[in-house]
Amino acid sequence: MLVNIVYSASSVMRSAKARTSGCSGIKMDNELLLNFFSAPPPTSQELETYHWPFGDVHTLFRHFNEAFFDNCLRDVIVQWSNKLTRSAGLCKYRGTRTEEHSPIVIILSAPLLQYRSQHDLLDVLVHEMIHAYLFRLKIFERVHHGPIWHAQAHRINQATGLTIRAYHNYYREVRYLARQRALKRIPVIDLSDSVIDLTND
């Protein structure tokens, strides 16, 4: 059984939820995830025993959205890209701070993630989901990974055993892809720009 995690900046989160429809609070009662991430936290090797198809972030996204983000991210679009080679993932907020429901898109790098572990894929996906969550709650920190972002990452790391950090350490892959790009040959699996649109469910 996971304990309720008290994290910093909670008053900011509560006020943001109060002014955002459909985001009433953070739920931690998803049975599948509670069984999957039971205490003590799983090791990297244990996480690797759960084999989702590499490109199937749809299922992972749904589970984490329900368990940790109160289903606030239902209308977020997740897509793979072959063109993203300098970062493992991006979260784009396509709108203004005053718009009620601005489009949010999470982009994952197929070239950088195709040979990484399941654990690494989860780290990147949830990292970007935290950005999307704060965008949805209209929380815009002065720095890209501010104290509220770190509080959310800590909360999920404590509950799941993941290692979500502010920056992804994929320097070797980035350098390799830069060399391959210079030689005009980038070997990647066929996940290019496939879009997972959760808005129609």
Residues acting as catalytic residues: 128
Instruction: Residue 9: count other Cβ atoms within 10 Å of its Cβ.
Output: 17
118-136 vs 147-160: helix crossing angle, rounded to 10: 140
The DSSP 8-state label assigned to residue 167 in this structure reads S
Q: Cis omega before residue 42 (within 30°)?
A: no
| Tokens read off for 132 | 């999307």
Please say whether the beta carbons of 37 and 2 come within 8 A. Answer: yes
Residue with structure tokens 């429901």? 101
